[in-house]
Amino acid sequence: MSMELQLKGKVIAAVKELYGQEINENLAQVQITRKDLTGDFTIVVFPLLKISKKSPEETGKDIGEYIKASDENVANYNVVKGFLNIELASDYWLKLVNNITKEEKYGYQAANDDSPLMMIEYSSPNTNKPLHLGHIRNNLLGYSLSRIAAANGYKVVKTNIVNDRGIHICKSMLAWKKWGNGATPESTGIKGDKLVGDYYVKFDQEYKAEIKTLIANHLKNYSELDEIKDFSETYSALKAQKKTKEGLDDEQNKQFKACEDLSKYAENNAPLILEAREMLRKWEAKDPEVYKDWETMNGWVYKGFDVTYKKLGVDFDKIYYESDTYTVGRDMVLSGLEKDLFYRRDDNSVWCNMTSEGLDEKLLLRKDGTSVYMTQDIGTAKLRFDDFDIDKMVYVVGNEQDYHFQVLSILLDKLGFNWGKDLVHFSYGMVELPEGKMKSREGTVVDADDLVDEMVNTAREMSKELGKLDGYSEEDAETVYKMIALGALKYFILKVDPKKNMTFNPAESIDFNGNTGPFIQYTHARIQSIFRKAAEKGISVAAEAPTNVEIGEKENNLIRMISNFPNIVAEAGRVFSPAVIANFAYDLAKEYNQFYHDYPILFEEDEDKRMMRLVLCKNVGKTIKNAMWLLGIDVPEKM
RNA sequence: GGUCUCGUAGCUCAGUUGGAUAGAGCAACAGCCUUCUAAGCUGUGGGUCGCAGGUUCGAAUCCUGCCGGGAUCACCA
């Protein structure tokens, strides 16, 4: 039982003994003492004043005295302004350290055959463009979550759903057919996912041009727009004004409606989009030529993705492809239709009425019978359910999809999936640039490969300048550069509360000093260096620390922090937040560096103290390593 | 407009079930390497926790209203 719980029990016992009243356990508040005050645990006495009918100071003293007398681990206590600080004996803490030493996987709970299975979906790329910074956040969060879940005793299956079909894929295929002249990754030397992405952009440019022409040609059909000079200027001006408080007057409203109509007409009737839709129909009909091109181009993209995934150090246990799941989804929807869960409109499209759940009506199949996003997710769920005995399903998907998952949860529940109702949408915030959202069509995205490469270059330059890896082979040094670069990037992303939007400024490169991954990695390397030096001096680290020495303030802080690590892991698992782990690792590293600066370790003359500190260092190193593993960050022996 | 979400130092972010004097890093300035790795340590300056009420012994944290940013409400995925 943890000391926190023990103290809680003591407080309850003390109140009963001293004031003759049974209290609810949430009145017995025990927390970790603030760093700037003396003590290890703090009991808040304010909630007890009504019962004690004494001043905060007196109440604190009463309870402090009782606890000190009844627990041999309690060395002393003090009362400050209604807060009772309990000080524990040195040997209590040192025994705790010796227990931690025994656990190599300290902080982790192992899964067994009966453990619940958590499936975590993350990444979910589209095969029409390369991965960017937004995907990086998704991948890093998903990967870290899977490790945190594993450390909390879950069986974990990491999964990926590849959006490999749909109109967006047809767009890049069509552009490549039209303007590609048979270009391949081999012929151009361009990475496959980027090559395909280039044609997606090309499509968009040509499409926009067609829309413009169409609008110009049809402007005369709209009498409301007779007078205007520039269509897009007028339209966006009206849009802007609609958002303001004044809004639009009747005349402007008519114009606005006309703009909307014309714009919609052009978007739906541009030759390119008609061709792309035709291509999608052919694809769904398994037209051999279209299908072959589709396979070829997706093949290029997968090769490109593999490179990026490897670079990021993420992987999957099972990959699903929408091209396999969308028909399953369609069948599910049709069977739901038979059971009257859904309904068909006159135009043949299929819908689900969710107004009783406070939501809208949701389209499940288009009038031409093709699938939409939601249909595919239903099919994917079905296949996963067939493949695995899922207890908990977690979707790592951006917060722009909050509504989608609300709907999906209800649909899956209606369709009889027992985990549908409490599926977890791990909803994370967007990565924004200082000037706003990233837009792939406008070329303002931060490319994943470029970013990692740039970080590795910076890490290499910095290491060489500092000369820390002299004596390492080129290959070994390169491994460390990559470790540091990824450490910086991963920590930078993961330390932020996942549900919040975060800002990334590409102009200011990610730091390697201060509250960063390399700072924590450095701390680990520093600790390992001590053991190398110790070995040189012929000092071996004992299995147990002597418990007969007094520990200092920094040592006490360190022990308290590492002993709290299992609670941190549990908390991170409970709220699905790698940031909790990241902040812990930083605080621990920071505390250790202060200790390192203030206390001699190998130079300590008292042998027992020296040994105690060495054992403590060992455990701090292990805790840092284990914490960073949960973030998917490796720590070096030397840097 | 409806729904959701965020607002903490110049910038990027922490802040536990409500708890003590709201913390880090970056940037700026001033120090510390003839002892275990200076990617480190120490110090200085920097705050109306968006605003106004409310609940409470106690509010950055909970409630209400307002202001501001973002997302979403597609036969795009």
pLDDT tens readout for residues A577-609: 999 999 999 999 999 999 999 999 999 999 999
Tell me if A79 is assigned to some domain: yes
Are A566 and A490 part of one and the same domain? Answer: yes
CA atoms within 13 A on the CB side of A133: 24
Please list the alpha-helical segments (H only) found in A388-447. Answer: 402-414
Nucleotide nearest to A78 (CA to C1'): B20
Q: What is the arithmetic mean of pLDDT over A425-452?
A: 86
Q: Please report the pLDDT score of residue A400 as a whole number.
A: 92
A345, A382: one domain = yes
> Does A334 lie in the same domain as A298?
no
Domain membership of residue A279 (yes or no) is yes
Whether residue A243 is predicted with pLDDT greater than 70 in this model: the reply is: no
Tokens representing A318 are 């099972």
**Residue type for position A209:** A
Regarding whether A170 and A217 lie in a shared domain, the answer is: yes
> DSSP readout, A554-621?
HHHHHHHHHHTHHHHHHHHHHHT-HHHHHHHHHHHHHHHHHHHHHS-STT-SSHHHHHHHHHHHHHHH
- Same domain (yes/no): A440, A452: no
Which sign, positive or negative, has the C-alpha torsion A312, A314, A318, A320? negative
ipTM over 0.90: yes
The CATH number covering residue A355 comes to 3.40.50.620
Of A446, A477, A497, which closes a domain? A446
Residue A76 lies in a domain: yes
Q: How many angstroms is C1' of B42 away from CA of A213?
A: 68
Binned at pLDDT 50, 70 and 90, residue A1 comes out as low
Nearest nucleotide by C1' position to the A268 CA atom: B75
Residues A190 and A256 in one domain: yes
State mean pLDDT over A237-248: 68
Structure token digits, residue A555: 């040592």
Residues A474, A499 within the same domain: yes
From the C1' of B40, which residue's alpha carbon is nearest? A593
Decide: A601 and A613 in contact? Cβ < 8 Å.
yes
The predicted model gives A484-502 an average pLDDT of 95
Q: How many separate domains does chain A show?
A: 4
A550 domain residue, yes or no:
yes
Residue with CA nearest B35 C1'? Answer: A603
Amino acid whose CA is nearest the C1' of B37:
A526
Structural domain boundaries, residue A211: 164-314
Angle (nearest 5°) at CA A169 between A194 and A402: 95
Q: Give the end of a domain, one of A431, A446, A461.
A: A446
- Of A310, A299, A288, residue with least CA distance to A196: A299
Q: Are A30 and A43 in contact (CB under 8 A)?
A: yes
Protein CA A403 to sugar C1' B48 (Å): 37
Asked if residue A141 belongs to a domain, the reply is no
Does residue A149 sit within a domain? Answer: no
In a domain, A125, yes or no: no
**Where among A37, A62, A88 does a domain terminate?**
A88
A508: Cβ–Cβ under 8 A, 6 or more apart, which residues?
Answer: none
Mean pLDDT of chain A: 92
Q: Distance from residue A304 (CA) to nucleotide B37 (C1'), in Å?
A: 39
Same domain, A257 and A330: no
Tell me: do A352 and A425 sit in the same domain: yes
Q: Which nucleotide is nearest to A49 (CA to C1')?
A: B57
pLDDT of residue A223: 80
CA–C1' A127–B77 (A): 11
Same domain, residue pair A350 and A432: yes
* A72 lies in the same domain as A178: no
Distance of CA A570 to the CA centre of its chain: 16
CATH number of the domain that residue A52 is part of? 3.30.1360.70
> Tell me: the pLDDT tens digits for A345-394?
999 999 998 888 878 889 999 888 888 889 999 999 999 999 999 999 99
A162-166, A255-259, A518-522, A556-560: which has the minimum mean pLDDT? A255-259
- On the CB side of A215, CA atoms within 13 Å amount to 23
Question: Distance (Å) from CA A229 to C1' B69?
Answer: 33
pTM: 0.94
**Considering the domain boundaries, does residue A7 fall inside one?**
yes
Confidence of residue A171 (pLDDT cuts 50, 70, 90): very high
Do A255 and A232 share a domain, yes or no?
A: yes
Rounded to whole angstroms, the distance from the CA of residue A401 to the C1' of nucleotide B74 is 13
Q: What is the pLDDT of residue A567?
A: 93
Nearby residues of A329 by Cβ (< 8 Å), 6 or more positions away: A371, A375, A376, A377, A378, A379, A380, A382
Which positions in strand B are less than 7 Å from the protein's CB atoms? 4-7, 11-17, 19-21, 24-27, 35-42, 57-58, 69-77
* pLDDT at residue A245, rounded to an integer: 60
Q: CA dist A463 to A450, A470, A483, A570, Å?
A: 20, 9, 12, 36
Domain at A452, CATH number: 1.10.730.10
Query: Strands A318-321 and A502-503: what pairing?
Result: unpaired
